[in-house]
Amino acid sequence: MTRAAVLVARAIFPEVLDQLRQVFEVDHNQDDVVLSPGQLRERLLGKAGALTTGSERIDGPTLQACPGLKIVANMAVGFNNFDIEAMTRAGVLATNTPDVLTETTADFGFALLMATARRVTESEHYLRAGHWHQWRYDLFAGAEVHGTTLGIIGMGRIGQGIARRAAHGFGMRVLYHNRSRLGPELERQCKAGYVDKATLLRESDHVMLVVPYSAASHHTIGARELALMKPGATLVNIARGGIVDDAALVQVLRERRIAAAGLDVFEGEPQVHPDLLTVPNVVLTPHIASATVATRRAMAQRAADNLIDFLLRGRPRTPLNPEVLT
Ligand code: GLV
């Protein structure tokens, strides 16, 4: 029997690649060169499946150019690099990697919140630069975290993980805003209260963004929303670039209209708005919220399992558009 051909579009753990090689003809990219849209189309020609990351865009023209494609398995929970409607129309299954990264990503949301409120990177730069000569009563005095109010925008699995950490670990009051309200049992477990976005922004000491990116969530936080936040508040974005208007954020950080921000994702990443690099009161990390060795391995495994289970057995684990299976 001929083996199906698949593309692994970026470098992944060698042991996961080996599993795929046991059952498929694999075209890999262990050199990890980011493929241009044209290169991606060329490499997808004749492939039944692909393992992608958020860097590869799967859209209508790509699907038209690659009629043999049956499944694209994203190694990410977010899938805004997919045009899901076009994939469904073309009969191409899309899968992602939910669940395996929830707690790790919630941990990182908290790491970024703590680093931002307590000025961790700013103070480390000061120390490394040799500026630390003596203890001082207000040296890098930051914002309190425990016992304050956390506002979470986007209350999916990761948002709920952050809420549980905040409420149960840090004694915080948790407010949330989401497209749909959680059921009473989940609200009770997360100790979280539903409010509209403006109330959340006005009442929170810290705001955390965990909302998926779509045209509707573009610039969820812009100049108008930033103006509603408390003067001493912090803003953390572990969701996607484009959820925050980065240029508007630079402005309020410069003028200290909010205290600080922590950003793991950026508009147009891996480019970063150049002015963000010049303001001291922002913690910047390169899209690493799910990056522990165990979790990244689990994500790669989940994506590989989706390819194997679908192409060999017709039963993917975590389909995004299951209607193409019927
Ligand atoms: C990372 O950003 C993911 O969506 O998994």
Question: Which residue has the least CA distance to atom 5 on ligand 1?
Answer: 76
Q: Looking at the structure, do residues 81 and 112 belong to the same domain, yes or no?
A: no
156 lines ligand 1 (CB under 6 A): no
Active-site residue, from 10, 119, 165, 240: 240
Q: Looking at the structure, do residues 172 and 191 belong to the same domain, yes or no?
A: yes
Does the structure show a pLDDT above 80 at 1?
no
pLDDT digits (tens, 9 = 90+) for 200-213: 999 999 999 999 99
Q: Looking at the structure, do residues 118 and 266 belong to the same domain, yes or no?
A: yes
pLDDT-derived band at 166, boundaries 50, 70, 90: very high
Does the structure show a pLDDT above 80 at 47?
yes
Question: Which residue has the least CA distance to atom 1 on ligand 1?
Answer: 76
- Mean pLDDT across 208-230: 97
Task: Supply the pLDDT for residue 27.
Answer: 98
Q: Looking at the structure, do residues 139 and 55 belong to the same domain, yes or no?
A: no
pLDDT digits (tens, 9 = 90+) for 53-72: 999 999 999 999 999 999 99
Q: Looking at the structure, do residues 42 and 63 belong to the same domain, yes or no?
A: yes
Q: Looking at the structure, do residues 84 and 119 belong to the same domain, yes or no?
A: no
pLDDT digits (tens, 9 = 90+) for 108-130: 999 999 999 999 999 999 999 99
Does the structure show a pLDDT above 90 at 131?
yes
Q: Looking at the structure, do residues 278 and 300 belong to the same domain, yes or no?
A: no
Q: Looking at the structure, do residues 214 and 267 belong to the same domain, yes or no?
A: yes
Contact 114, 120 (CB under 8 A): yes
pLDDT-derived band at 31, boundaries 50, 70, 90: very high
Q: Looking at the structure, do residues 298 and 260 belong to the same domain, yes or no?
A: no
Q: Is 287 a residue of the active site? A: yes
C-alpha angle 77/81/82, rounded to 5°? 90
Cis before 270? omega within 30: yes
Angstrom distances, CA of residue 162 to CA of 144, 157, 169, 265: 17, 9, 10, 17
Angstrom distances, CA of residue 182 to CA of 165, 209, 253: 17, 17, 32
Task: Supply the pLDDT for residue 326.
Answer: 87
Q: What does pLDDT average to over the chain?
A: 97
Residue 270: which CATH number? Answer: 3.40.50.720
Block residue for tokens 């209209």: 257
Q: Pocket of ligand 1, candidates 101, 104, 217, 296: which has the most ligand atoms within 8 Å of its Cβ, to mutate?
A: 101
Assigned token pair, 263: 């950003």
Q: Looking at the structure, do residues 109 and 138 belong to the same domain, yes or no?
A: yes
Q: Pocket of ligand 1, candidates 77, 100, 263: which has the most ligand atoms within 8 Å of its Cβ, to mutate?
A: 77
pLDDT digits (tens, 9 = 90+) for 176-188: 999 999 999 999 9
pLDDT digits (tens, 9 = 90+) for 95-106: 999 999 999 999
Overall number of domains in the chain: 2
3-state secondary structure of 221: strand
Q: Which domain holds residue 270?
A: 102-284
d(CA 165, CA 106): 8
Ligand 1 mean position, distance from CA 127 (Å): 33
Contact 94, 51 (CB under 8 A): no
CA distance from start to end of the chain = 25
C-alpha angle 209/213/216, rounded to 5°? 105
Assigned token pair, 78: 């977010």
Q: Cβ contacts of residue 129 below 8 Å, gap of 6+?
A: none
290 lines ligand 1 (CB under 6 A): yes
Q: Looking at the structure, do residues 64 and 182 belong to the same domain, yes or no?
A: no
76 lines ligand 1 (CB under 6 A): yes
